[in-house]
Structure 1
Amino acid sequence: KKIRMHYITRIAINYCLLTIALMLFFVLVNRFGLSLHNLGNIPPLAFISIAALGDFFTKQYVKKSLKTSLIILFSTIAISTIGWFVITRDRFSEFLINNLWITPVLIIVNIIIGQFKGLRIKDFFRFRSIVRSKENA
């Protein structure tokens, strides 16, 4: 069932639920001794990012479905984990610092990819039966 609510109400509920979830997470981390001794070392920007993403996923759930929201959530977590793993490697960071010209090249490549109007990779999987029948015809 679709839920309609005002923006401020949705944000307030989202932040309350997010705060409860983060507190439960910290209690579980502390309970099982997962070595997160100093919570002051967690940057505030991380909490703000979690809150913003939480609002995005809540909005997706209300507008679309639980399945769509979970797919987006897990793909975001996977991309974030891969990105974190790559960025925290010393060799990668050192390479980027020594080759700053790569950043504008990556921006241009992303703009070119963003302008692409053809089928995306996921569309090939989605419409593979149609694509196969066109190839065989």
Structure 2
Amino acid sequence: MYANDGFRELDRQECMLLLAKVPVGRIVYTRQALPAVLPVNFCLDRDGAVLLRTSAVSGLVSAIDGSVVAFEADDVDAASHSGWSVVVTGAAALVTDPNEHARLLRTGPRSWVPSTQEAFVRIDPELVTGRELVGGRSLYGVQLPS
């Protein structure tokens, strides 16, 4: 990042605190050798892993199980030209342990579109980066009043 570019880099702890405040993010993965992005609801597990809940027979599960993916979430205020973005990169894996699956049924993310065969996907946060837009500017480069 360049000095005075209007952004502040966030440390890992700040990133995780911000992720815990929003219910929706985007999973970035490879589908048929091309980049794909899907909005998903999620939550953070007690160890900081990103948890998704989806249909066990979805194309998403087969595409990401065992792959390295990126997960992005953000919060933007268009009126004040402020906000933040966090990206988690790590290995995605289908939760197959029956005890872990049972725990996640109680504590994990709630599906917005329930399925008869729901599955949980865990993304281990190997790399966590984020930035916050500070000192928002108008479209014409004029500093907004604070």
TM-score, normalisation: structure 2: 0.20
Structure with higher strand content: 2
Structure with higher helix content: 1
